[in-house]
Amino acid sequence: MKILIKGGRVIDPGNNIDKVTDIFINKGVIEDIDENIDLNGIEMEVIDAAGKIVSPGLVDMHCHLRDPGQEYKEDIESGTKSAVMGGITSVACMPNTKPVADNESVITYIQSKAKEVGYVNVYPIGAISKGLKGKELAEIGEMKFAGAVAISDDGRPVVESGLMRRAMQYADMFDITVISHCEDIGLADGGHINEGFMSTYLGLRGITRAAEEVMVSRDILIAEATNTAIHIAHVSTRGSVELVRQAKKRGVRVTCETCPHYFTLTDKAVDGFNTNAKMNPPLRTDDDVEAIKEGLKDGTIDCIVTDHAPHHIDEKNCEFALALNGIVGFETSLGLGLKYLVETGVLTINELIEKMAVNPAKILGLNKGNLSVGNTADITIFDPTVNWTVDIEKFSSKSKNSPYNGFELCGKPEYVIVGGNVVVNQGILL
């Protein structure tokens, strides 16, 4: 299969490319990037990308595909379909499945099912502790050997600091990334939303920012003391951004991510007991949103991830305190980034692509998120000037738990190429 992408603005921050040019794909591989590629007489598919951005396929290093075990929420097929519709060509999925991905066999299951029915590249993340119980380390080497790209107990913190330290030291030895869900359970105190005006107003138990920040501090200190690396998941507060900023200045090997909801929404979205605005960490305040944007701008925050967390309608359509945490995110993340960060001047498109493709690939050690000649063709093409309206009924995900229904966003992916195959064509899944 030969594909020629004609006349788009090719942005490949990893290779310092930003120019109007053509890309020629042959047998799944980027064979040439040059102006006015002319292959007269050769039969091929031509994509007219004039006026559009041609980007490396996005890499989402934090999502939940719910497979194995909770396929009523999502499975590898529907989840990767949803991802590709959002312009994402590689995902790393968290291990809190049923059974937990804490051993070779679950890691292997995810990989082989993804090969069979997946629409994008799927990279499993293994658990830090057996059964996510926080007691005993999982078989980190065995999981790495089977193909796990990172370890995390995401969904819950590793409470025992000594266990976290050993996990970080083992991970360093095996050259695998540790992703920390930072939450002090005692401080979070069973809360449901950010502690502040809204929690008082709604009469809901609040979660102090300190619940996140105490653990961010701890993990930074462990990384510093042991010269190991740590990646902080879903940063949501001004304090966390500042802790990472200062640690980076001292040379600590710390990276971090945030999600679109932490730079687009505040706890006001919970008003009316909107369970689609319930997540962990919770939505914060305008001041935190400002700090997240500052952190993105100055490079403190390396990545934007979705934390795509599908739930069945019955798990959200209930009393606020009982509703499960999380929202679906694959199909809105690029549009939210373009609308709330690029259109407002917080980031350039190039910087957005860095945070949604280049940096996540780097942190996971994947040769993805670039348009290097000779590399597998994973490409996303979008027009940032085209507006579209979010309609949850049109999501490819099995779940519809999004707080963004009806939002006006821009830059819906028009073409998505995975492994040299056009999977989305003019916005339609093939």
Q: Give whichever of 181 and 316 is closer to Zn ion, judged by the CB atom.
A: 181
In the three-class reduction of DSSP (H, G, I as helix; E, B as strand; rest coil), residue 148 is classed as coil
Smallest distance from the beta carbon of 181 to Zn ion, in angstroms?
4
Q: Give whichever of 8 and 155 is closer to Zn ion, judged by the CB atom.
A: 155
Smallest distance from the beta carbon of 129 to Zn ion, in angstroms?
15
Smallest distance from the beta carbon of 257 to Zn ion, in angstroms?
10
Q: Give whichever of 279 and 416 is closer to Zn ion, judged by the CB atom.
A: 279
Q: Which two tokens mark 324?
A: 């499960």
Q: Give whichever of 111 and 236 is closer to Zn ion, judged by the CB atom.
A: 236
Alpha-helical (H) ranges within 86-184 are: 104-117, 140-146, 161-174
Smallest distance from the beta carbon of 155 to Zn ion, in angstroms?
6
Q: Given CA atoms 309, 312, 315, 316 in this order, what sign does their dihedral have?
A: positive
Based on the number of CB atoms within 10 Å of its own CB, is 69 exposed (0-12), middle (13-18) or buried (19 or more)? Answer: middle
CA–CA distance, 311 with 74 (Å, rounded to integer): 8
CA–CA distance, 130 with 136 (Å, rounded to integer): 6
Q: Give whichever of 81 and 181 is closer to Zn ion, judged by the CB atom.
A: 181
Q: Do residues 420 and 1 lie in contact, with contact meaning Cβ atoms separated by under 8 Å?
A: yes
Q: Do residues 84 and 49 lie in contact, with contact meaning Cβ atoms separated by under 8 Å?
A: no
Nearest residue to Zn ion, by Cβ distance, number only: 181
- Which residues contribute to the site for Zn ion (CB under 5 A)? 154, 181
CA 126 to centroid of chain Cα atoms: 16
Q: Nearest CA to 308 among 57, 55, 54, 84?
A: 84
Candidates 12, 307, 378, 391; catalytic one: 307
**Other C-beta atoms lying within 10 Å of the C-beta of residue 44:** 13
Q: Give whichever of 74 and 154 is closer to Zn ion, judged by the CB atom.
A: 154
Smallest distance from the beta carbon of 163 to Zn ion, in angstroms?
17
Taking every pair of Cα atoms in the chain, the longest distance, rounded to a whole number of angstroms, is: 70
Smallest distance from the beta carbon of 344 to Zn ion, in angstroms?
27
Smallest distance from the beta carbon of 234 to Zn ion, in angstroms?
5
Q: Give whichever of 160 and 408 is closer to Zn ion, judged by the CB atom.
A: 160
Smallest distance from the beta carbon of 241 to Zn ion, in angstroms?
17
CA distances from 73 to 101, 233, 293, 372 (A): 17, 22, 31, 36
**Other C-beta atoms lying within 10 Å of the C-beta of residue 59:** 28
Q: Give whichever of 22 and 154 is closer to Zn ion, judged by the CB atom.
A: 154
Catalytic annotation on 307? yes
In the three-class reduction of DSSP (H, G, I as helix; E, B as strand; rest coil), residue 223 is classed as helix
Strands 177-180 and 150-152: parallel
Q: Nearest CA to 238 among 261, 213, 220?
A: 213
Q: Nearest CA to 142 among 120, 155, 124, 159?
A: 124
CA–CA distance, 165 with 178 (Å, rounded to integer): 11
Q: Nearest CA to 243 among 210, 266, 269?
A: 210
Q: How many residues does the structure list for the chain?
A: 430
Give catalytic residues, as residue numbers: 307
